[in-house]
Structure 1
Amino acid sequence: MIVVFGSLNMDLVMTVPALPGPGETVLTRSYATKPGGKGANQAVAAARAGASVAMVGTVGTDGFGDRLAENLQRNAVDVRCLRRGGEPTGIAYICVDSAAENFIAVASGANLETAAADLPDDLLAEGGTLLMQMEVPADQIWAALRRARAAGMRTVLNVAPAAPVPADALRALDVLIVNEHEARSVAGDLGIDGGGPEYLARRLAAEAGLICVVTLGAAGAIAAEGDMLWKVAPLRVRPVDTTGAGDAFVGALTAALDRGRGLPEALRRASVGAGLACLALGAQESLPEAADIDRRLADVPEPSRI
């Protein structure tokens, strides 16, 4: 089972002709409310990719919180550890332009009340997986990580958005997932300067003794494990909205690893999942099912050693 310790937001999504600049107002006809938050997105992505998933997080006692809980249940995510906090449910304001690029601002709300104590002992099972992001309090993430590590779980951290990661936390991880900017940030905290994504992946993997996956957007992704470096190509699509692509990648990758697939196959499935997530508006509605990934798997070559 995958236990996701993370955030839940209601996304307010607007399609605009161009993203606004500083001091600029851009008008559009309407907006949509769609379930989001990196934690919930990755929980749904992993569940749709075939994993058994439980969500640990916090929403408010409001309509947005109700809708987020109901949506997780519709996607077969266990919500028994979803807590109602005193703050309003978190929201994200998302603008998407005609080139499928986006602008996102987040009000964390009840997410800031999420605590490692919300994670019950019965979910900390040897052989399971704890998946984390950086949209809930960092001290609680590290506390949850320590408990999962002690229980013998696989530990996966997506450092999104970019934030400091203590050296002892890095060394307690099995899998680190970052984009190029996040890789530079994490490496810089360890005194690793310069170098491209391949160099950073190798150094981070070696320094922390983990698998380091660096996503490269339209160029696919690379992953360092020991002395091996893998590269996976992207699924070629015409994007509509890239908002959920990173979370689709993380969820599909974690689901594949949790189900016992090797790293190259997990990377390939994650690349397909990320590409398919770009074909519809919204973070969670666009996330593919396992059967969708299976149908397009042949369109992405097996990862190559580099």
Structure 2
Amino acid sequence: MILVFGTVCLDRIRRIPALPGPGTYVEIESETTLLGGEAANTAAALTSWGADVRLCGNPLGEGPEADYLRALLEQRSLVVEAAGEPPPRFRTPVCDIYVTPDGDRTMFGLGFSAMEPVFDPKLLPLIRGEWFTAEPNMGGVSRQAARAALGAGMKVYLMDFIRDDDPVAPGSIWQSSTDWAGFRGDVVRNTEWVRRLVDRTGCFAILSDGPNGLVAGSPELEVRAYPPFPSPPIVDTTGAGDMFRAAMLYGLSQDWPIGRSLAFAAASGSLSVRSLGATSLIASIDEINDLVSSHPGIAQQYAEAV
């Protein structure tokens, strides 16, 4: 079982020709509303690949937006197990995402700052030896949940926990991107940054840098750079990190070697940029494996991760 804890929301994605300057106007070319949120994206991918998933996160609220969000979850055979009672005046979180032709995105959130429930760790289905993953968008609640999972003896995978006091424990897995940590486009500095994190925490660390590949390592595994798999034409980079995390967790839950899991995750992240949003077109296991096998030179570099 993989327990995915974190954000569940609506992603309202709008394609625009360019971001407008101050006081100017731009026409929205298209709009679509999708299931979103880091936890929901990750759980949707894992479920599509046949993994046993429990999704636990923020309240969904009431009203038309909440009803639509529940319908999108039902389409993915997902049910959100609430982590506690909703705070006062809670509303369904919605993320407005503006995507330009180069695939870059600008995001505006509504309802996220008030999404922390009155947390009750007894509501979490914590099972010793199973996987737990979280991102920090629910602030203190996310950190409490991660500490509860560690205390229960779960295997912990944390994404974007970048504070020095975050619960990154020896033997856990940490993932983030150069949107949040490290240095975009600088492999040497990113390698050193990851090495310092590994030395400080004892975790297995993964720092992705989009089209520049990633750096990964642990106390047992050499900290080194890995190349990216070629991506299709970029439509939208929303959720690429969530697809990477889901694929990494899938491989780990199947007891794959770490290099195979890393390659599968990197290929999954590359394929995720071919469509709007994270969940409109989730790559199949066969598609991901085909991308890996069609680039044996790159795959070999991942296979050398020992």
Shorter-chain TM-score category? 0.7 to 0.9
Which residue pairs with 2:106 in the alignment?
A: 103
CA distance in 2, matches of 1:169, 1:90: 26
The one-letter amino acid of 1:212's match is A
Is the CA contact (8 Å cut-off) linking 2:212 and 2:228 kept in structure 1? yes
Instruction: Report how many aligned residue pairs link the two structures.
Output: 293
Which residue pairs with 1:255 in the alignment?
A: 250
Which residue pairs with 2:74 in the alignment?
A: 73
Relative to 1, partners in 2 of residues 1:82 and 1:233: Cα closer, same or farther, differing over 3 Å?
same
Measured against aligned partners, the alpha-carbon deviations of 1:197-241 in whole angstroms (never above 9, x if no partner) come to 111111111210001101110122221122413524223321111
Is residue 221 from structure 1 mapped to residue 214 from structure 2 by the alignment? Answer: yes
The one-letter amino acid of 2:168's match is L
CA distance in 2, matches of 1:213, 1:278: 19
Which residue pairs with 1:19 in the alignment?
A: 19
Which residue pairs with 1:279 in the alignment?
A: 274
The one-letter amino acid of 1:254's match is L
Which residue pairs with 1:134 in the alignment?
A: 136
Structure 1-normalised TM-score? 0.86
The one-letter amino acid of 1:283's match is A
Which residue pairs with 2:189 in the alignment?
A: 196
Is the CA contact (8 Å cut-off) linking 2:231 and 2:271 kept in structure 1? no
SS of aligned partner of 2:273? helix
The one-letter amino acid of 1:278's match is V
Alignment of 1:1-306 (within 5 A): 1-57=1-57, 58-81=59-82, 85=86, 86-109=89-112, 112-117=115-120, 120-121=123-124, 123-136=125-138, 138-159=139-160, 165-167=163-165, 169-171=167-169, 174-184=172-182, 196-226=189-219, 227-230=221-224, 231-300=226-295, 301-302=298-299, 303=302, 304=304
Relative to 1, partners in 2 of residues 1:267 and 1:200: Cα closer, same or farther, differing over 3 Å?
same
CA distance in 2, matches of 1:273, 1:66: 30
SS of aligned partner of 1:99? coil
Cα RMSD for the two superposed structures: 2.6
The one-letter amino acid of 1:210's match is C
The one-letter amino acid of 2:222's match is M
Structure 2-normalised TM-score? 0.86
CA distance in 2, matches of 1:14, 1:178: 26
Which residue pairs with 1:189 in the alignment?
A: none
The Cα of 1:97 is off from its aligned counterpart by 0.9
Measured against aligned partners, the alpha-carbon deviations of 1:246-294 in whole angstroms (never above 9, x if no partner) come to 2111111122112222221111111111111111112211322323323
CA distance in 1, matches of 2:37, 2:45: 12
The one-letter amino acid of 1:113's match is E
